């Protein structure tokens, strides 16, 4: 039986996004936002939804509460074509939520983790893993239930014959307790952004952080925001510029959409430079609508944008 595409393990929450905010909140005061969106959130879910939208067969393993937000998360994933059979519904925890306050290219977030902390290594459906081609984890630091087992998880997945990827994301505790020397050799594609690279390596410049991490990585795809992305493999480097679209709305989920685009081309055995370019394109498309998945809800719209920006293909 041929293997399916992508299996994602990760956190699940909704995003409550405020745009067009008049000032920044101060204790004892109230301000007004002129636009609000309640949508599917969480880095892992955004990646999964957008990966499915661009043609990767995708399944998800995570946890939500038995509540309206959990229903929304599952409904939105299913609407994008994601297999939700492996999502656990907790009677003990509420579904997570992130409040996002957008200020042009910057934002401030507050997250309630809820059920995302309840996911454990035994909740991963190991008996089904070998059916898939690729395994991905996002937002490692928010998932307390799997943090201690992260290296063993990737070792088991590699032993099952899958390729793997990891996006640590930001450590809200700022402790950066991740044994990259033990774990990253079992990760085929490491997908940090520049700030995460600096924090993890405890360096003050990108080159120094690359020097620290590169000996333990197979492929690094570093997200550089408006500067595009940088790929490193076997001593070779590829720098790819960002796409700048005139209809910018917000950057919520742009890095996750980069991941989805990158992995689509990676699973097609494309060269690293092509993977980076398509990742940049999907990250740019993400910013044309509010939230992390709205821009990917119309397949014809995605195809039109790709043809408009890349008339000769990617």
Print pLDDT tens along the chain (314 aa). 567 899 999 999 999 989 899 989 899 999 999 999 898 989 999 999 999 999 999 999 999 999 999 999 999 999 999 999 999 999 999 999 999 898 877 788 888 999 999 899 999 999 999 999 999 999 999 999 999 999 999 999 999 999 999 999 999 899 999 999 999 999 999 999 999 999 999 999 999 999 999 999 999 999 999 899 999 999 899 999 988 777 788 788 899 999 999 999 999 999 999 999 999 999 999 988 877 788 888 766 788 777 776 666 55
- State residue 288's pLDDT score: 84
258 in a structural domain: yes
Interior angle at CA 186, CA 185 and CA 190, nearest 5: 75
Q: Say if residues 149 and 123 touch (Cβ distance below 8 Å).
A: no
260 in a structural domain: yes
108 in a structural domain: no
Q: Hey, CA dihedral for 119, 121, 127, 133, is it positive or negative?
A: positive
- State residue 166's pLDDT score: 98
The domain total for the chain is 1
- State residue 4's pLDDT score: 83
Which residue range is the domain that position 304 belongs to?
A: 4-12+42-95+114-309
275 in a structural domain: yes
Query: In a 3-state reduction of DSSP, which class is residue 167?
Result: strand
State the Cα–Cα distance between residues 52 and 69, nearest whole angstrom. Answer: 21
Provide the β-strand partners of residue 232: 220, 237
Q: Say if residues 34 and 19 touch (Cβ distance below 8 Å).
A: yes
Q: What is the CATH number of the domain that holds 126?
A: 3.40.1190.20
- State residue 311's pLDDT score: 61
- State residue 2's pLDDT score: 62
Alpha helices in 174-241 (DSSP H): 180-183, 194-201, 206-213
Nearest alpha-carbon partner for 291 in 49, 41, 32: 41
- State residue 177's pLDDT score: 95
- State residue 99's pLDDT score: 92
148 in a structural domain: yes
Residues 6+ away with beta carbon under 8 Å from 218 = 184, 185, 187, 188, 189, 190, 233
- State residue 310's pLDDT score: 66
24 in a structural domain: no
- State residue 300's pLDDT score: 66
Tokens, residue 1 = 């039986």
């Amino acid at each position: 039986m041929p293997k399916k595409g992508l299996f994602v393990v990760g956190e699940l929450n909704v995003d409550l996004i405020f745009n067009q905010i008049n000032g920044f909140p101060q204790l004892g005061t109230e301000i007004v936002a002129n636009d609000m969106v309640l949508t599917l959130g969480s880095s892992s879910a955004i990646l999964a939804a957008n990966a499915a939208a661009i043609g990767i067969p995708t399944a998800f393993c995570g946890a939500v509460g038995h509540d309206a937000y959990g229903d929304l998360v599952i409904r939105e994933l299913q609407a994008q074509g994601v297999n939700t059979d492996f999502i656990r519904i907790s009677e003990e925890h509420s579904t997570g939520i992130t409040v996002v306050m957008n200020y042009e290219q910057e934002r401030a977030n507050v997250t309630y983790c809820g059920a995302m902390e309840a996911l454990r290594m035994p909740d991963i459906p190991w008996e089904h893993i070998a059916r898939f081609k690729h395994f991905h984890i996002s937002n490692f630091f928010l998932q307390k239930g799997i943090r201690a087992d992260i290296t063993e998880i990737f070792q088991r997945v590699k032993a099952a014959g899958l390729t793997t990827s990891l996006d640590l994301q930001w450590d809200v505790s700022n402790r950066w307790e991740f044994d990259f020397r033990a774990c990253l050799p079992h990760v085929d594609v490491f997908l940090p952004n520049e700030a995460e690279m600096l924090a993890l390596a405890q360096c003050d410049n990108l080159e120094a952080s690359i020097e620290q991490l590169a000996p333990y990585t197979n492929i690094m795809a570093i997200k550089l925001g408006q500067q595009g992305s940088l790929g490193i493999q076997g001593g070779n480097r590829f720098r790819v510029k960002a796409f700048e679209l005139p209809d910018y709305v917000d950057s919520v989920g742009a890095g996750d959409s980069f991941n989805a685009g990158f992995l689509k081309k990676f699973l097609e055995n494309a060269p690293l430079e092509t993977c980076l370019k398509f990742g940049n394109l999907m990250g740019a498309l993400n910013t044309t609508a509010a939230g992390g998945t709205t821009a990917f809800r119309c397949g014809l719209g995605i195809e039109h944008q790709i043809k408009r920006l890349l008339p000769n293909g990617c």
